[in-house]
Structure 1
Amino acid sequence: MALDLDDLRLLEQFKAAVSNDTALSGWNSSNGACSFPGVDCNNGRVTSVSLISVRLNTDFSAVASTLLHLSSVEAITVRDANSSGLLRQVECGEKLSLLDLSGNYISGEVPAFINCSRLEYLDLSGNFVSGSIAVGVLLRCSSLSSLNLSGNHLVGAFPTDIAHLTPLNALNLSSNNFSGEIPGKAFVNLSKLRTLSLSFNYFNGTIPEAIIMLPELEILELSSNLLSGSIPATLCSSNTSSKLQVLYLQNNYLTGGTPEAISNCTGLVSLDLSLNFINGHIPSSIGMLTALRDLVLWQNALEGEIPESLSRMLALENLILDYNALAGSVPPSLANCTELKCMSLASNRLSGSLPTWFGQLVMLQILRLGNNSFTGPIPPDLGDCRSLLWLDLSGNQLNGQIPSELAKQSGMMTPLNFTRQFSYLRNDELRSNYECHGKGSLVDLTGIRHSDLSRMPSKDACNFTTVYLGTFHMINNYSMIFLDLSFNQLDSDIPKELGNMYYLMIMNLGYNNLSGVIPAALAGARLLAVLDLSHNVLEGPIPRSLESLSLSEINLSNNRLSWTIPQHGSLATFPSTAYENNYGLCGFPLLLCNQRVVNTQQPKSHKGQAALAGGIVAVFSLSLFVLLICVCQRKKPKAHNNANEALRLQGNLFSIWNFDGGDVYKQIVEATENFDEKYCIGTGGHGSVYEASLQTGEIFAVKKIRKTEDGSLKNEELFCREIEALVQIRHRNIVKLYGYCCTNQDKFLVYEYMDRGSLSIILMAKGSAVELDWNKRLDIAKDVVQALSYLHHDCSTPIVHRDITSNNVLIDMEFRACVSDFGLSKILSLDASSCTSRLAGTTGYLAPGEVAREIFVLFTVALQCLDPNPATRPTMQSAMQKLSAAPAAVGDFDYLHTDIMDTGTHVH
């Protein structure tokens, strides 16, 4: 039973009542049980205490000193109670068997446990416990059957004490920083162990056979470590019918083949070997695992054909084999696997025609066959997949028509409930190449660090950007949200029926031979955020009906379109590259239409069009699935337009279908404890920046605008100016604005979190400055230049930042640089009438003016001293004379046209 405490008064009463193990007199009800919330009593004695999701906001040592000295208590649960402080030692008392302190802020090392011989269940997970586990601290917990220390900051080798806890049946050390080899001898005597989770650590070496041979083992999670070698051939050989149900070895450095012995694991339900270096064929004997629900082998070096024997896995729900070298066709017998929810076979060497039996898979939600060599038509039977959420057939050799039947499943979707987590790796088209087909990849992230996605060769080659989706939870009456048929040979018209797919968010039909006109009915896909019809032979005008869509991206380039680009909605806010190479197309952002078009259509003047484009707030102009405008009190949606309510994801809070402004506001305030200073990661002239780690696992940077004491509007003007600038920008080197909130109490902006902070912080710290070698510094400079070039030349209306400093250049873990802080930026009109000569920016970063010559002289001398040829370097006496010479008038020295690398330059 939960105890809701707003302050400590009730806790003080509780402490006073139970001190010295006295009876809870006054709280006993007529039936003899005390009525104190969260406490169970037996004849007036405390037997168990349960404080869950309370807000104690106190040093836990004060609570522990009260609870842990009760000789009659058998179970103590203080979970998610916001308690902090050190727990130096635990004295369990005579009867304590359960101690759950998970989800708090307890710090320090793992405490010593005294008189804990009866303790069976210990959970310290989700705290801030750090350091190595000292020898002997757990030895007195001789009855321990469940130990959970996951989600802390523990380091060092595998704890030696665990080898002596023979009653253990569950051990969880995941999500820490343990390292070294996993000692096989530590498991020799743990014959009762059923669950072992060592995921998300830094263990290296091979997988010990002693673990594989544990007779009662049901769950083995070793994912996201540094393990190498092959999977032991003795897998599941200890019993004729193994008890192993879950085997997670993904995101390691395992080599060799998939052992035939895996067929002995007849009880296996979930198998994940992804993101390794496993080679060879998928053994046909794997079909003997008839209870298997998840077969996940993506990003390995597997070859050969997909075994027909997989059809014996009638319980199979997720078949994920992407990024291998598998060949042949899709086995027809897989039609028997009617429980399939995800079939992901992309980026292999598969060929043949697409099976018509796909339509029989009524539970299928994700079908990814992109970047293979499939031929023939797209089967209309796919429209019978009434649960289909994600269809990616890009990068094949498909021809013929786009079946109008694809829209038939709209409104037919069955309830979705994915137990695995997926991440959408979006193709960054700013730097893409023709080998990166489609809009991106859907990747199974279960048990994999986000940062380790960089190990995917395709991710680096295509410059993918991670957009986290999370676990799907949907209800009835939905349709597809992702349709990618690009890079094929389709040669039909675009079916107008695709406009019936109300919930479709991405439609990519680019790089085909599609002809005819763009159907005006496409505007019926009201949630469409990305539309790519580029590189086809489409004709006619752009339908004005598309003005009603809130698009974040459109690409109609390289077609045969004509007439005027519609000037309402978001269509006029995109760069010219979205419409280029359509020789009959005109109007902003392209060249003005000729006189004949003007007389017919009476378009606005160029100046009027520019003003209109500059005035439109491009709400959806950032990357996909990012909602920009964050209202803190959300209105109830109309009954016919309730996409946000229905498409409920437990991932990115800023995804279009998951967005709830009030919920986001609440979570940010809670994550920062109402903007407590301990979460502050930077302070500027107009506000402070806080790190907000939300419950979804996402981290954001939140800039809270400071209220001015004199009530002036300057900070509010900067707040609005930054929003106005950033909603028009989408570039990898400009910090992403995910949303903003404006209430009477708070004004803050929510940004992408950049792990390393500002360039100035990196340069001021000796260690990080040394790490920032010349190549990294050069790359950072190039990133900033690319950002400024985009602002000045590629935006629909040019933007001048006006405050580029090392404080406003942010760096992520991969040393990517992003320009931030657009509070002083200025959006220019195309006739340059808004240009100004007024100085703005940070003092010290403005143009030199009167000291330009001295700066130039200093750099010239410095470069001469670094000349590769020692003979041409100036002597120190000469260098001193040059630096000490009286400066001439600035006008007498044209430093802008002097080659400072010329060692023959003489400065007097």
Structure 2
Amino acid sequence: MNKITCTSERTYTASDRNLLFEAAEYQNSESNALLKWKTSLDNQSQASLSSWTSSTSFCMWQGIVCDEYKSVSTINVTNLGLRGNVPNDIGELRSLKYLLFGSNRFYGSIPSTIGMLTNLVELDLSQNSLSGTIPSIQNLRKLEKLWLSNNSLYGPIPWELGKLHALTTIKLLNNNLSGPIPLSIGNLVNLTILELSNNSLYGSIPPILGNLTKLVYLSMAKNRLCGSIPISIGNLINLKGLSISENDISGAIPSTIGNLTKLNFLLLYMNNLNGRLPPEMNNLTNFQSLQLSDNGFTGPLPQQICLGGSLRKLTAENNYFTGTVPRSLKNCSSLVRLKLEQNLLSGNISDDFGVYPKLDYIDLSSNNFYGHISPSWANCPSLTSLRIANNKLSGVIPAELGQALKLNVLNLSSNHLTGIIPRELSNLTSLFGLSLSNNELSGNIPIEIGSLLSLQSLELAANNLGGLIPKQVGALLKLFHLNLSKNEFMGNIPLEFGKLQHLQDLDLSRNLLNGPIPPTLGKLQMLEKLNLAHNSLSSTIPSDFKDMFSLTHIDISNNQLKGPIPNSQAFLKAPIDAFKNNKGLCGNVSGFVACSEMSHNPHSQKKKHVLILALSILGALMLILIMVGVSLHIHCQRAATKPEKQATEEQIQNLFSIWNYNGHIVYENIIEATEDFDDKYLLGEGGSGAVYKATLHTGQVVAVKKLHATTLNGEIHNLKAFKSEVEALTKIIHRNIVKLYGFCSHPRIWFLVYEFLEGGSLDKVLNNDTQAVMFDWNRRVNVVKGVANALYHLHHGCSPPIVHRDISSKNVILDLEYEAHVSDFGTAKILNPDSQNFTLFAGTYGYAAPVMGRHPGDLISSLFSSSTTSRASSLLLKDVLDRRLPHPVMPIVKEVILIAKVTFACLSQSPLSRPSMEHVYGEFVMPRSPIVDSFPIVTLGELIYN
């Protein structure tokens, strides 16, 4: 018997048929809404959605996912380059869980209908161009991830956000949101990521954020937040990344931060944080990046900072950190970037650093590091930038640095480096910045420098470099900045400089260059600044200079140039000081004769030249006759004197000498230029002599100090020793020391020849009420720093050391930029414990500590712990503090108070308690913490009158 299987057929009721119809209608409405939205996009966007057609089920379209009921549950069009609006009809997709529109070009506002998507789990509208405010989304109770970053949204963060307890991620960074951080966010206890950076949020960091104990990343950087870091931050024990940089946060870091032992990233830079780092930070050994720069932190850095061996980036620049670098840094092989510049760190740089295979960038500039530069830096194969400027490094530049082949920047400026520039540096073919200025380097520029074809900036200023400037510098075609000033380069300016077509700034001032200015410089069409001052350049200014339209600043003063000044804006608008002390310039510049007047009649000019030549020859013959007569007269007088006096006078008579010059010619020039020291050339008078202005026949202007007879009788007992001392002083080259050219002697006159500076003495400026008021606080502070720099060089940069012994405002000469130059070395003595000069004292009354005359040993120790000059400097400091000026304001008031602090230290009764010039120099050149509150009972008035 066959088995019969029976089935029953379902009978649909009218209600069922209505539900099916509604479902089909709903699906059709979803399809229509999506197609409608597609047509609103631009053509290219529509092409990206080519699968979206009515002939295909929408569940098969690109980026669309349907649920089991054939309703849209996901729209993912991330990074398709779509351009248009977020559709208002989006609210019709009631089954939508994932709306992912990130990384497109959507614009306009976020439609409020998004608040109807109550099933939404993830909303990503990031990286678009959306604007307007964040709409109400308080009904999205299932929302776990909210990405609205990288748009142009504005207005407050909705308070209702705190009701969405399912949220684990909020990313609102890179918008224009404003207002305070809502306290309601503290209710979102499931949050692991909260990113609010780069908005305009203000107010304090809510302590209630300490409730978010599941947070892994918290970022509030680049806002306008203020107040302190809340103690409750220590509750976030799962935190791996914390960034509150670039705000206005103040106060100290709370000790509770030591609880965040999982922390990999701590970014606090560019705030107003201060105080010492809490010792508890030594608990944080898993740092990958610690950024503390641009705050007011003091004290030491955490010693265990790289104990976990994962530190890649440490930036702590522009603070007041003291002590040595953390011990754990020496073997921190993971280190990639280290920035410690502009602090008060110290230590032997040779011992504190190791070899770093991954190190890319290091800057230790403007600290107190000492020691030699280690050749081991060459063993850092990834190193691109090595900057150790403005420290106390000594010794030579190691040739091994030429093996650091990836170096882009090498900056060792403002140290005490000696020796030559190693030719091995020419191997650094990737170098685009080389700065060795403000050291004590000597020798020539190696010709191999022409191999550095990537070089854009070359700074060798203020050294003792000499010889010819190699023409190979002209091969550095990418140079835009070249500064060789304040050296001893001689010879001609290389013609090859005309090839440096990208050069914008050329400074060759204060050298011994001669010959004409090469016409090829006129080809430098991008040149903006040209300084050739204080050389011996001759002939005319090249006519091509008139076509240098980019030139804005020019200084050719103190040369031997003649002829027309070019008719270009840079020359016509330049101050007259930019042309002073030349031989015969003319042109349309104010203060100069028009060239047409000088060359109006060529025949008369020719006759004039012949006449001048004839008169010159006749004058020379007369001068010879006069000299013969004078010699005979002196010979007759000498025969009538005692034998011992005759021997002395013969010794003096033969000492016509300015070293490196013809002594007779210079002597006669100076006598002629000053009309035998007529008072109309008198610049000033001091304890040891009178100073005159002399313009030599070459056009060079010098200052001549004629020594008083009392100085000659009381000081100069041994001519040979005196000559040796002056020879040594002529070798001093420093930007804050007036150059001493040499010395002339005659039985009736002895004088010293100095560089001439237009600004006059500090004493004259201070005693002129009008000039004193113009001599503002900034200029005064710079003068004090300049004097400290000069004395530091004399005490600690010269071997043997030199003590000036007569520092006063009369002996500080200013240039036209009010830069200070210490002068008058006629009474200076070179310190040598075995010399008879060791205990000699002269100069302005009261400036030499009496104990030093009786105890020569104190004078040696004064170089390191106290000094006569230190006390003299303090009197100079007191001169500079002046009640005629308005009260200094921030930030210069900090500098003025620092000067006051140093002044009191220099006025100590005990020489052993006075600071050395090394310490004074360090105080002035290094950044310091604000010390205004350190003097609650001291006023500038009290300082001036007590």
Query: Given the two structures, how large is their TM-score scaled by the length of structure 1?
Result: 0.54
Shift of 1:104: 3.2
CA distance in 1, matches of 2:263, 2:242: 8
CA distance in 2, matches of 1:161, 1:139: 5
Distance 1:358 1:56, change over 3 A: closer
CA distance in 1, matches of 2:92, 2:473: 66
Secondary structure at the counterpart of residue 371 of structure 2: strand
- C-alpha offsets along residues 107-136 of structure 1, whole Å, 9 cap, x if unaligned? 332211043223222111222322223422
Partner of 1:203: 225
Does the Cα contact within 8 Å between 1:335 and 1:361 map onto a contact in 2? no
CA distance in 1, matches of 2:533, 2:47: 74
Distance 1:67 1:330, change over 3 A: farther
Secondary structure at the counterpart of residue 349 of structure 2: coil
**Residue 127 (1) aligns with residue 151 (2):** yes
Distance 1:12 1:313, change over 3 A: closer
Equivalent positions of 1:738-887 (< 5 A) are 795-796=570-571
CA distance in 2, matches of 1:533, 1:6: 65
Distance 1:183 1:81, change over 3 A: same
CA distance in 1, matches of 2:424, 2:46: 67
Aligned with 2:509 (options 557, 567, 592):
557
Partner of 2:253: 231
Tell me the amino acid that sits aligned with residue 557 of structure 1: S
Partner of 1:144: 167
Shift of 1:338: 3.0
Partner of 1:351: 370
Partner of 1:332: 351
Distance 1:15 1:359, change over 3 A: closer
Tell me the amino acid that sits aligned with residue 149 of structure 2: S
Does the Cα contact within 8 Å between 2:162 and 2:186 map onto a contact in 1? no
Distance 1:221 1:792, change over 3 A: farther
Equivalent positions of 1:151-300 (< 5 A) are 151-188=174-211, 190-237=212-259, 242-300=261-319
Partner of 1:388: 407
CA distance in 1, matches of 2:399, 2:242: 42
Distance 1:386 1:12, change over 3 A: closer
Distance 1:269 1:570, change over 3 A: farther
Partner of 2:779: none
Shift of 1:547: 1.2
Tell me the amino acid that sits aligned with residue 139 of structure 2: N
Partner of 2:122: 98
Structure 1: 5+ residue stretches without partners: 19-23, 411-478, 589-605, 618-726, 732-790, 800-829, 834-908
Tell me the amino acid that sits aligned with residue 344 of structure 2: A
Shift of 1:407: 1.5
Equivalent positions of 1:445-844 (< 5 A) are 479-550=430-501, 551-568=503-520, 578-588=531-541, 609=543, 612-616=544-548, 727-729=550-552, 795-796=570-571
Partner of 1:118: 142
Shift of 1:223: 0.5
Secondary structure at the counterpart of residue 234 of structure 1: helix
Tell me the amino acid that sits aligned with residue 315 of structure 1: S
Shift of 1:298: 0.8
Shift of 1:39: 4.5
CA distance in 1, matches of 2:114, 2:339: 46
Partner of 1:376: 395
Tell me the amino acid that sits aligned with residue 507 of structure 2: N
- C-alpha offsets along residues 841-899 of structure 1, whole Å, 9 cap, x if unaligned? xxxxxxxxxxxxxxxxxxxxxxxxxxxxxxxxxxxxxxxxxxxxxxxxxxxxxxxxxxx
CA distance in 2, matches of 1:322, 1:256: 18
Tell me the amino acid that sits aligned with residue 219 of structure 1: G
Shift of 1:83: 0.7
Distance 1:101 1:575, change over 3 A: closer
Secondary structure at the counterpart of residue 522 of structure 1: helix
Tell me the amino acid that sits aligned with residue 93 of structure 1: L
CA distance in 2, matches of 1:11, 1:494: 62
Percent of residue pairs bearing the same amino acid type: 29
Secondary structure at the counterpart of residue 519 of structure 2: coil
Shift of 1:320: 1.1
**Residue 26 (1) aligns with residue 60 (2):** no
Shift of 1:297: 0.9
Secondary structure at the counterpart of residue 418 of structure 2: strand
Tell me the amino acid that sits aligned with residue 536 of structure 2: Y
Shift of 1:94: 5.1
Count of residues paired in the alignment:
529
Secondary structure at the counterpart of residue 533 of structure 2: coil
Which structure has more relative contact order (CA 8 Å, sep 6+)? It is 1
Aligned with 2:101 (options 69, 74, 77):
77
Distance 1:508 1:15, change over 3 A: closer
Does the Cα contact within 8 Å between 1:156 and 1:178 map onto a contact in 2? yes
Shift of 1:88: 3.8
Does the Cα contact within 8 Å between 2:447 and 2:472 map onto a contact in 1? yes
Does the Cα contact within 8 Å between 2:365 and 2:390 map onto a contact in 1? yes
Secondary structure at the counterpart of residue 329 of structure 2: helix
Distance 1:542 1:730, change over 3 A: closer
Shift of 1:278: 0.9
CA distance in 1, matches of 2:39, 2:326: 58
Tell me the amino acid that sits aligned with residue 583 of structure 1: S
Distance 1:392 1:5, change over 3 A: farther
Distance 1:69 1:5, change over 3 A: closer
More off after superposition, 282-291 vs 212-221: 282-291
CA distance in 2, matches of 1:797, 1:33: 77
Shift of 1:69: 2.9
Shift of 1:186: 3.0
Does the Cα contact within 8 Å between 2:75 and 2:100 map onto a contact in 1? yes
Tell me the amino acid that sits aligned with residue 795 of structure 1: A
Shift of 1:47: 4.3
Does the Cα contact within 8 Å between 1:307 and 1:331 map onto a contact in 2? no
CA distance in 2, matches of 1:375, 1:14: 65
Secondary structure at the counterpart of residue 137 of structure 2: strand
Secondary structure at the counterpart of residue 180 of structure 1: strand
Partner of 2:417: 398
Query: Given the two structures, how large is their TM-score scaled by the length of structure 2?
Result: 0.52
Secondary structure at the counterpart of residue 224 of structure 1: coil
CA distance in 2, matches of 1:74, 1:572: 62
CA distance in 2, matches of 1:576, 1:118: 65
CA distance in 1, matches of 2:169, 2:46: 31
CA distance in 2, matches of 1:149, 1:614: 57
Cα RMSD after superposing both structures: 3.4
Does the Cα contact within 8 Å between 2:383 and 2:407 map onto a contact in 1? yes
Does the Cα contact within 8 Å between 1:92 and 1:119 map onto a contact in 2? no
Shift of 1:160: 2.1
CA distance in 2, matches of 1:563, 1:5: 77
